[in-house]
Amino acid sequence: MRLALLVLAVNLLLPSAALAQIYAWRDAKGTLVLSDRELDTPTKIYEVHGAPAYRTTTAEATAGSAPRFDSFVLAHAQRHSLRPELVRAVIQVESGYNPLATSPKGAMGLMQLMPATARSLGVRNPYDPEENIRGGTAYLRRLLDKYDGNEELALAAYNAGSGAVDRYGQVPPYRETRDYVRRVGVKAGASDSGTAAKFRIYKTIEIIDARAVPRYSTQRPAAGTFEIVRR
């Protein structure tokens, strides 16, 4: 039954491909909007049966995978002294909360662990959500310790490898890596160390008459999820 529900949720939320991106926005009132595409224009949204705090852009969608894995996120984030927001953001950007995701390069599961990395972390089944999150959080902790708590460098190493970060002494000048660091940083929010960059234009989603409407402002939103679209 658990496997059947998992497959159903993945098929509903990721209808086109296993590696499809799931976008998540939280409005100022705390309502979470899940979508399989960027919200750049007013978009009709739907209530999720049995989950009043959620909305989706797909009428048939059920509650998202994120809440089902949050107990693992919280437990292992606490174990490794990580911000849960950072772990959630990595999962969101890496796999869109698809536990069965496999990248063309062979990265596996929620936190997209490479085979060698999974083995070094003692992860026997990278497609098991709890095992994957356990290994991924341990790996994040290892990278943060290596780079003295600098989240940007740790994320760059998570994406491009420590060798690339060490070679350049900063976030490598790879478009994919810089975009990855930005996207994870935006979703995770600022850390206590203040390593997150400061941007000028903020994109938020506002729910108006059953539609998700993108809003842009130069003021940092006081509540809800936002995306930084221009420095």
Catalytic residues: 94
Element (H, E) at 35: strand 32-35
Gap between the Cα atoms of 53 and 51, Å rounded: 6
- Distance CA(22)–CA(14), nearest Å, equals 8
Q: Is 93 helix (H, G, I), strand (E, B) or coil?
A: helix
Q: 114 vs 13, 28, 138, 161, CA distance in Å? A: 24, 37, 14, 11
**3-state secondary structure string, 169-211?**
CCCCCCHHHHHHHHHHHHHHCCCCCCCCCCCCEEEEEEEECCE
Helix (H, G, I), strand (E, B), or coil: what is residue 59?
Answer: coil
- Tokens for 132? 């994957």
Cβ contacts of 81 within 8 Å, gap of 6 or more = 141
The backbone torsions φ and ψ at residue 3, rounded to the nearest 5 degrees and listed phi first, read -65, -40
Tokens describing residue 47: 């209530």
